């Protein structure tokens, strides 16, 4: 295999995971970040994000000399055969993607590369952005060299990002020349994975279309779950019956209190915005966004129907992260619900195995954080479950009855069997059952 010198701009979920996995597959990788403390942390073998298997691979590849970290982007870009852009493209108030970080890196690349180079955009960007990035770099070039830009969107899920990269179902590459296609093919050759090669705009669209389709499935199942409650059906039985149809599949059929994270909320709104820029209305995506927004506080509204007030009540919150396996809080249902509960005067005791430190940045004093889920439910008047961590799943139904002042549980992830909770003497509310 051919070993390439690869620079990766950005060390968040996209950039750091990509860089570590390229090193694991034998390339010479340097990850670039502006934060000196973060760089020193990574050099010491500590990951700035919680992600399964990431720290072990960071330490292994750093020790073996294939992986390094730096704030010196000038040297990193100067020596690179390929530069992967993995910086954030956060959502703006109107739903569009903020491309300022991509623009900053593009300018730095243009001003510092000294040999022919392939620039690869891994960040999720609106359709047509790669064209603009290429033109922007060419307009800003200092040296007389050849630069091409390719699209290579990521399809990792937080919590399983390393596995999703090393064992991806497919690699999408979008190029406008045979040379760029050949180089990206060679970079990914040691991964031994299926590669789908398309033009740049199609690659950009594949990313949005894939994520938004999955968001659609989640919102559809939540919509059906809400109807199940009204007509007396069980959403889990419905999902099981649907899953045997190969045209539907079994993934993303689980009803709950909505999707969160860094991808689905941002990408659905971004594609909706892009469509409107072209005078087109994506009605299905707009519906998914609307359903998800309402779903997040569905259990809170159920609890409001049951209780006269939350003022002065001890409320247990089990799970803060938007899903298990990550400490990411972006668009997590816990945020919407806790804000409402605090406004009502609730005394919140919260448990999460990994996301507490991140949550403390938002609520340093208003919430009592506990180390065990049992501490949260001890003498609680009501309990909300927002994340299906195994530590929470391990709590037996009888524990709620024994420990809580009032065994009143609102489960946004359908973790418990209805019959078992009833037999244990727990007043239990879930989604679509």
Active site residues: 263
What DSSP designation does 191 have?
G
DSSP track, 384-409:
EE-S--HHHHTS-HHHHHHH-SS-EE
| Among candidate residues 65, 47, 68, the one with its CA nearest the CA of residue 56 | 47
Strands 147-151, 117-121: pairing is parallel
Task: Give the angle 284-88-366 at the CA atoms, nearest 5°.
Answer: 85
Beta strand spans in 20-139 (E): 28-32, 67-70, 82-85, 117-121
34 sits in which H/E element: none
* 414 vs 82: CA distance, rounded Å: 46
Task: Give the angle 256-260-266 at the CA atoms, nearest 5°.
Answer: 140
165 sits in which H/E element: helix 161-166
| Among candidate residues 329, 322, 393, 391, the one with its CA nearest the CA of residue 357 | 329
* 177 vs 184: CA distance, rounded Å: 11
Residue 332 contacts residue 352 (beta carbons within 8 Å)? no
First to last CA, the chain: 54
For residue 115, what are the CA distances in angstroms to 5, 104, 118, 188? 12, 20, 10, 22
* 270 vs 158: CA distance, rounded Å: 20
* 202 vs 216: CA distance, rounded Å: 20
Residue 390 contacts residue 371 (beta carbons within 8 Å)? no
Count Cβ atoms below 10 Å from residue 152 Cβ, excluding itself: 25
């Amino acid at each position: 295999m051919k070993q390439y010198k690869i620079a990766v701009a950005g060390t968040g979920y996209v950039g750091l995971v990509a860089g570590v996995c390229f090193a694991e597959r034998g390339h010479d990788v340097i990850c670039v970040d502006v934060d000196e403390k973060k760089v020193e942390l990574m050099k010491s073998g500590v990951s700035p994000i919680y992600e399964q298997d990431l720290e072990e691979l960071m330490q292994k590849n750093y020790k073996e000399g294939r992986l390094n970290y730096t704030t010196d982007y000038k040297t990193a870009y100067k020596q690179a055969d390929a530069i992967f852009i993995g910086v954030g493209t956060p959502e703006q108030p109107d739903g569009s993607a903020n491309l300022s970080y991509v623009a900053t890196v593009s300018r730095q690349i243009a001003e510092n590369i000294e040999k022919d180079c392939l620039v690869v955009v891994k960040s999720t960007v609106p359709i047509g952005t790669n064209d603009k990035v290429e033109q922007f770099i060419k307009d800003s070039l200092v040296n007389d060299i050849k630069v091409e830009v390719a699209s290579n969107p990521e399809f990792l899920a937080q919590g399983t990002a390393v596995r999703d990269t090393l064992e991806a179902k497919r690699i999408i590459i979008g190029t406008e020349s045979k040379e760029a296609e050949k180089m990206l093919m060679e970079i990914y050759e040691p991964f031994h994975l299926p590669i789908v090669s398309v033009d740049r705009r199609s690659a950009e669209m594949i990313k949005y279309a894939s994520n938004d389709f999955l968001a659609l499935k989640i919102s559809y199942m939540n919509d059906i779950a809400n109807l199940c409650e009204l007509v007396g059906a069980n959403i889990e039985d419905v999902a099981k019956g649907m899953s045997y149809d190969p045209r539907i599949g079994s993934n993303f059929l689980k009803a709950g209190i909505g999707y969160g994270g860094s991808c689905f909320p941002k990408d659905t709104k971004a594609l909706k915005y892009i469509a409107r820029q072209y005078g087109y209305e994506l009605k299905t995506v707009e519906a998914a966004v609307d359903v998800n927004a309402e779903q997040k506080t569905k259990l809170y509204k159920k609890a409001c129907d049951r209780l006269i007030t939350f003022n002065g009540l001890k409320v247990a919150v089990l799970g803060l992260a938007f899903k298990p396996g990550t400490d990411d809080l972006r668009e997590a249902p816990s945020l919407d619900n806790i804000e409402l509960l605090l406004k009502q005067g609730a005394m919140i005791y919260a448990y999460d195995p990994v996301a507490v430190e991140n949550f403390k940045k938002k609520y340093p004093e208003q919430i009592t954080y506990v180390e065990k889920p049992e501490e949260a439910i001890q003498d609680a008047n009501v309990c909300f479950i927002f994340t299906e961590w195994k530590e929470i799943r391990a709590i037996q139904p009888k524990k709620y009855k024994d420990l809580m002042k009032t065994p009143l549980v609102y489960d946004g992830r359908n973790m418990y069997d209805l019959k078992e909770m009833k037999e244990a003497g727990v007043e239990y509310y879930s989604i679509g059952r």
